[in-house]
């Protein structure tokens, strides 16, 4: 008789390989649906990841108090990628293959999304409401992505509309030297070109650093009236603090990715006391004539984490969580991954307490809303009324 052990071992190895390569089935049990998040929970962008996680968990807790969705609790597992692309890839693989999440939600950043979206797409896993306005997530290239927020191009257009209305045409751009920063820079260039303008100066700085003094000096060589800063909370705050130390007469504008509360915490008292710091937001203002959704968010946050302060980033996380709730409601009692995005796109107008989302067959973004805010000496973001263009 021939020895069959090598053949038997080969079959075992082949079976294990096929099992490992097979797509993991999602974690949909009789009592719960598990979502996964890879986000920065350490490093200079950690406040963004923590706030997104807080908002999503607050929305899920709110839904769970009412019995969940079709009798299932919504749960979230979050892994730290430190705002680094390689870590995001490993996290997404772990979330899909080991934790068997139903969908991914609330990732933070363009570089991490660029690296992890293909992993999710290959596994057929929905990638819901990433905290980024990058264009590659909106052009139809990735069919598994559904965005909630406005794009960076829309944010920078709102900035230029304001500056043009004030007659300010000498604009510089400082941006993070990666795919996120370049996306914001491209949006700024489009807004400038629309008005027959170009930047008087451009400057870059590395990701995950606050060494931006040289960046500021490069910007000031153009003698700008205003500067658009595309970056995460810590470097943007460092940049603004340097402008205050050098007593520069400069309108400073930054995008929503600078982080709301995180930016305020990193600003010096001198920076807060000065006028001229503005931020675009992609979720409704927390002050002024607040929408009903803001009151619902505040109550959900109070019940889930009473020690936490309301903020724009956790509000975005809450809205992302509410969007996921709507998707699960439309999927019915037997949810499947492949249902999620078509359900959202066919849902028509989704009204989340005055904050409207609307998708179409080839539309990968629910909201186009951009709100301009200014920072008060008390560290609050005050709504800025729309500016009419100068004649």
H/E segment holding residue 173 = strand 171-176
Residues 277 and 183 in one domain: yes
Please give the pLDDT value at position 25.
64
- Is 14 within the bounds of a domain? no
- Is 377 within the bounds of a domain? yes
Residues 228 and 166 in one domain: yes
According to DSSP, the residues that pair with 253 across neighbouring strands are 228, 278
Give me 371's structure tokens.
């709100």
Handedness of CA 306, 311, 314, 316 (dihedral sign): positive
- Is 167 within the bounds of a domain? yes
Residues 54 and 97 in one domain: yes
Residues 329 and 251 in one domain: no
Please give the pLDDT value at position 345.
87
* Mean pLDDT per 10-residue section of the chain, whose length is 391 residues: 39 36 63 96 92 98 96 97 97 97 97 97 97 94 95 97 96 96 96 97 93 95 97 94 92 94 93 89 88 96 97 97 96 93 90 94 91 93 70 38
Please give the pLDDT value at position 390.
41
Alpha-helical (H) ranges within 246-379 are: 261-266, 269-273, 292-304, 312-331, 340-345
Please give the pLDDT value at position 22.
44
Please give the pLDDT value at position 27.
64
Residues 172 and 270 in one domain: yes
Total count of domains within the chain? 2
Please give the pLDDT value at position 28.
77
Residues 329 and 231 in one domain: no
Please give the pLDDT value at position 287.
86
Residues 239 and 323 in one domain: no
Q: Could you tell me the pTM of the whole model?
A: 0.90
Torsion on CA atoms 226, 230, 232, 236, rounded to nearest 10: -20
CATH of the domain at 320: 3.40.50.2300
Residues 197 and 335 in one domain: no
Residues 376 and 246 in one domain: yes
* Cα 255 versus chain centre, distance: 11
Tell me the residue range of the domain where 260 lies.
Answer: 152-281+371-383
- Is 165 within the bounds of a domain? yes
Residues 209 and 244 in one domain: yes
Please give the pLDDT value at position 1.
36
Give me 185's structure tokens.
């820079």
């Amino acid at each position: 008789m021939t020895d069959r052990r090598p053949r038997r071992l080969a079959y075992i190895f082949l079976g294990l390989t096929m099992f490992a390569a097979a797509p993991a089935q999602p974690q949909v049990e009789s009592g719960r649906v598990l979502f996964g998040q890879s986000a920065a929970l350490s490093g200079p962008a950690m406040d963004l990841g923590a706030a997104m996680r807080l908002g999503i968990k607050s929305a899920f807790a709110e839904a769970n108090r009412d019995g969940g969705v079709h009798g299932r609790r919504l749960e979230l597992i979050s892994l730290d990628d430190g705002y680094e692309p390689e870590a995001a890839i490993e996290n997404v693989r772990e979330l899909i293959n080991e934790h068997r999440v139903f969908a991914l939600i609330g990732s933070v950043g363009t570089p991490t999304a660029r690296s992890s979206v293909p992993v999710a797409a290959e596994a057929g896993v929905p990638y819901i409401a990433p905290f980024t306005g990058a264009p590659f997530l909106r052009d139809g290239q990735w069919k598994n992505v559904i965005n909630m927020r406005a794009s960076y191009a829309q944010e920078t257009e709102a900035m230029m509309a304001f500056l043009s209305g004030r007659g300010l045409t000498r604009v510089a751009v400082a941006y993070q030297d990666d795919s996120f920063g370049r996306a914001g820079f491209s949006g700024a260039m489009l807004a400038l070109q629309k008005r027959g303008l170009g930047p008087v100066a451009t400057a870059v700085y590395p990701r995950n650093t606050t060494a931006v003094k040289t960046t500021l000096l490069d910007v000031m060589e153009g003698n700008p009236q205003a500067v658009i800063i595309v970056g995460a909370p810590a470097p943007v705050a460092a940049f603004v603090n340097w402008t205050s130390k050098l007593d520069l007469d400069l309108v400073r504008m930054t995008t929503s990715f600078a982080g709301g509360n995180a930016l305020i915490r990193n600003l010096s008292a001198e920076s807060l006391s000065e006028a001229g710091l503005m931020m675009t937001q992609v979720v409704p203002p927390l002050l002024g004539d607040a929408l009903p959704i803001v009151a619902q968010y505040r109550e959900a946050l109070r019940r889930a984490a009473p020690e936490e302060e309301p903020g724009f980033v956790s509000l975005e996380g809450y809205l992302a969580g509410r969007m996921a709730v709507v998707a699960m409601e439309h999927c019915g009692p037997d949810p499947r991954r492949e249902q999620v995005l078509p359900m959202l796109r066919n849902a028509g107008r989704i009204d989340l307490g005055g904050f409207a989302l609307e998708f179409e067959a080839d539309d990968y973004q629910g909201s186009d809303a951009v709100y301009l805010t200014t920072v008060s000496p008390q560290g609050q973001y005050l709504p800025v009324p729309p500016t009419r263009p100068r004649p």
